[in-house]
Amino acid sequence: MMHRPRRWRLNASLRSLVHETTVSPANLIAPIFVTDASNEPQSIASMPGIWRWPVDQVADEVHVLAETGIGAILIFGIPGAKDADGTGSYDADGVVQRALRAIKTATPQMTVITDVCLCEYTDHGHCGLINGISGASDPHLPAEYVLNDPTLDTLARIAVSHAEAGADVVAPSGMLDGMVAAIRGALDRSGFGAVSILSYSAKYASSFYGPFRDAAQGAPAFGDRATHQMDPANVREAMREHALDVAEGADGLMVKPALAYLDVIRATRDRFPDVPLAAYNVSGEYAMVKAAAAMGWLNERRAVLEILTSIKRAGADLIITYHARDAAAWLTEETQCLN
Ligand code: PBG
């Protein structure tokens, strides 16, 4: 008797019967950039199809996204002014806080996640307070080092200000030690026990963030992020980061980037089977597909759906992706075709 795997591949109906991995629009999270620096939507050269939205137009864009059935949006703010300590990040009238109020008024059913970090708000572009630059300093640490504990208070203030403005979930992305515990404590003390924390628990120091730093205007003015983000060579260390964040009260974990880290997603899923897991299909991954598609070298739709399927197959529940809007439309079409 000969085994014939091809029997199940004979036609579309048989193939769909043994289809193992399904991505649905509800699994997708769309990042959104909101800006205080312009009154017009601004395109981003390295991320075709993605815009920086002025606060007074962002609610309309979110309304359109809500119609596609995607699961949530993730907001990043680009403030009009920056300073050494990133004080604009927790301003009740800051760019993210005003955007949150507008979105929650217009589309209250949409789940809104906010990025909690300092890099878009500091004039040096780093994710925390810097040794020797602001009031905080530590003679035992190198100059220009991102200080850990002095930054935690600021992160907690940002998270509370986002919760006050209507955030459902806060997502700290700076890879500082103890950030989840600091944020959980502050949210609970302020009466926001129902606000979840989706931690960027295993975020690598990656070259694939290039286009994002363009989009958010948050590239470091000196040095890099290697003293807080993870070494791409490490996977055991990611398990340690996840475990700490779970112990500190994280409601969800993340691996970022996604494509060069599918093994990390799989290891995380196996080690933490019962914690929701997000993967961030980052800006550089998006830009590669868009560039190749524009050259006619890839079929964009098929490449995107294959990529999203592979991230889900590796073990992610949720995928943060700049393809969310197009992918949601394509996925809905495919479901209708099969039925
Ligand atoms: C900020 C932040 C970054 C991204 C998300 N949050 C950039 C960075 O760490 O330099 C990258 C997202 C992307 O590339 O799509 N801490």
What is the residue-level pLDDT of the chain in tens, covering all 339 positions? 789 999 999 999 999 999 999 999 999 999 999 999 899 999 999 999 999 999 999 999 999 999 999 999 999 999 999 999 999 999 999 999 999 999 999 999 999 999 999 999 999 999 999 999 977 789 999 999 999 999 999 999 999 999 999 999 999 999 999 999 999 999 999 999 999 999 999 999 999 999 999 898 888 998 999 999 999 999 999 999 999 999 999 999 999 999 999 999 999 999 999 999 999 999 999 999 999 999 999 999 999 999 999 999 999 999 999 999 999 999 999 887 655
Closest Cα to atom 6 of ligand 1: 173
Residues linked to residue 30 through DSSP beta bridges, in sequence order: 73
Residue-by-residue DSSP string for 13-26? HHHHHT------GG
Residues linked to residue 253 through DSSP beta bridges, in sequence order: 277
pLDDT (0 to 100) of residue 134: 74
Q: How far is CA 255 from CA 169, 223, 263, 269, 318, in A?
A: 17, 23, 10, 10, 11
Element (H, E) at 78: strand 72-78
Chain centroid to CA 338: how far? Answer: 31
Q: For ligand 1, pick from 122, 173, 283 the residue to mutate: most ligand atoms within 8 Å of CB.
A: 173
335 Cβ neighbours under 8 A, 6+ residues apart: none
Quote the ligand 1 centre to 97 CA distance (angstroms).
Answer: 19
Closest Cα to atom 11 of ligand 1: 209
Nearest to 122 by CA among 151, 93, 161, 160: 151
Give the residue numbers marked as catalytic: 203, 256
Closest Cα to atom 10 of ligand 1: 209
Q: For ligand 1, pick from 32, 44, 119 the residue to mutate: most ligand atoms within 8 Å of CB.
A: 119
Which atom of ligand 1 has the smallest separation from the CA of 31? Answer: 15
Global pTM value = 0.97
The pair of structure tokens assigned to 14 is 């048989």
Question: Pocket residues for ligand 1 (CB within 6 Å)?
Answer: 115, 117, 119, 127, 173-174, 209, 212-213, 225, 282-283
Nearest to 118 by CA among 153, 144, 93: 153
Nearest to 227 by CA among 108, 98, 141, 133: 141
Length of the chain in residues, anyone? 339
Question: At 100, is the secondary structure helix, strand, or coil?
Answer: helix
pLDDT (0 to 100) of residue 334: 86
Q: How far is CA 223 from CA 75, 124, 142, 219, in A?
A: 26, 10, 12, 10
The pair of structure tokens assigned to 232 is 């791409």
Q: For ligand 1, pick from 120, 154, 208, 209 the residue to mutate: most ligand atoms within 8 Å of CB.
A: 209
Q: Are strands 196-197 and 202-203 parallel, antiparallel or unpaired?
A: unpaired
